[in-house]
Amino acid sequence: MTERVHSITVTVNGKPYQLQVEPRLLLSDFLRHELGLTGTHVGCEHGVCGACTILFDGQSARSCIMLAVQANGHTITTVEGLASGPVRDAADAGHLHPLQRAFWEAHGLQCGFCTPGFLMTLIPFLEENPAPSEAEIREAISGNLCRCTGYQHIVDAVTLAAAMLQGDRPGAT
């Protein structure tokens, strides 16, 4: 008889968890339903749209095509792990990660459904490429789909975030 549950230990947004999960539970469902981290969105459920993107040991990964058991012993960051404190309104915007703040300031989102996936794709991109060209930004976001924008404001937000992260903009961090 096969085992129906597996014990996993995973660190999510800096907090360790040890839970029992079914072997077929998707990582996206684990994050959303078991941990209540609903910022990880599920769109296509095939790894194509990018809405479910998280950081898995610091690298962007699609959580809808990974199983929760694969996260055993690993570190995950979701969009909820980016802000340094609660953000309720514009007065709290200083708690945002510079990339989140840039998306806010440059109007890089509309409905916001795809935004967490873009953010989690772009965090490691900006770490590896701190001064990207527009073409490099467009290539980096080419795996994330947005049904609301023409992507220009997203590109502008990434350019602004790069400047913030390099300290080229006052009040950036």
Q: Which domains does the chain have, with CATH numbers?
A: 6-81 (3.10.20.30), 90-165 (1.10.150.120)
Provide the strand spans (E) within 37-128: 53-56, 59-62, 75-77
Q: What is the pTM of this model?
A: 0.89
Q: Indicate the burial class of 143 (C-beta count within 10 angstroms; 0-12, 13-18, 19 or more).
A: middle
pLDDT attached to residue 3: 67
Contact between 33 and 25 (Cβ < 8 Å): no
Residues 109 and 126: beta-carbon distance below 8 Å: no
* CA–CA distance, 36 with 15 (Å, rounded to integer): 13
Q: What is the pLDDT of residue 85?
A: 60
* Regions of the chain short of the pLDDT cut 70: 1-3, 85-94, 169-173
